[in-house]
Amino acid sequence: MKNLKILLVDDDLFLLAITEKSLEKAGYEIETSKTGEEAVCLISKYPFDVIITDLMLPGDMDGIDILEAAKAADSQTEVILITSYASVDTAVTAMKKGAADYLQKPVNFDELNLRLEKIRCMKSLVKDASDLREAMDITEDKASETIRNLEMMVFDLQNKLSEMEKKLRM
């Protein structure tokens, strides 16, 4: 399975850069954005597996707006929020809105990697399940065609047989 495609959103350029570097080293495909508006624009254009965003952002769009936009575009996108201690309450609200996780600043990269690995595992399981289902559908489709034809054939033969039996008795 391909590696996760991740969007990082933070107005702290330094943090953005070091997080990008750390995650790229771990093998993930990274896109970055400094503002909420830019992020929402990217979300509408490309599919992301994960979005890691600061809760507080300058401008009209904050982390919650990004969460909502991401889920509207693709409910399978997982959103991780980065929050400072003062906004833990908002983070909990965000979890209720569908965020996958929240991490407190300063971000511990080991922890972030663990969370991402968990997301990657789950997505892989979901894909396996969906592949299995697809295979099953195809098998069922083919089997059902065969069985339908056999049903009709058996019915016809039963009718012919009873007709012959009737004739023989006469």
Partner 1 sequence: MIKIEPDEFNIIAKYIRSISGISLDQKKAYLIESRLKNLIKEFGCSSYWELYRKAKSDTGKSLETRIIDAITTNETLFFRDRWPFELLQHKILPDLIEMRAAKSSGAFPIRIWCAACSTGQEVYSIAMLLKESLPDLQKYDITLMGTDISATAIVQANSGIYNQFEIERGLTRDRVKRYFSPLGNNWKIRDDIRAMATFRTHNLMLPLYSSGMFDIVFCRNVSIYFNPENQKKLFYKIADVMGRDAYLIIGSTESVVGVCPRFEPGRYLRSFFYQLKN
Q: What stretches of 36-108 show up as alpha helix (H) in DSSP?
A: 36-45, 63-73, 88-96
Q: Is 122 in the site for partner 1 (CB under 8 A)?
A: no
Of 34-42, 79-87, 106-114, 154-162, which part binds partner 1 (CB under 8 A)? 154-162
Cβ proximity to partner 1: between 46 and 155 the closer is: 155
Shortest CB 153 distance to partner 1, Å = 9
The CA distances from residue 145 to 149, 153, 155, 156, 158, in Å, are 6, 12, 16, 17, 20
Q: How many residues in the chain?
A: 170
Q: Which of residues 50-79 bind partner 1 (CB under 8 A)?
A: 75
Site of interaction with partner 1 (CB under 8 A): 75, 96, 140-141, 143-144, 147-148, 150-152, 154-155, 158
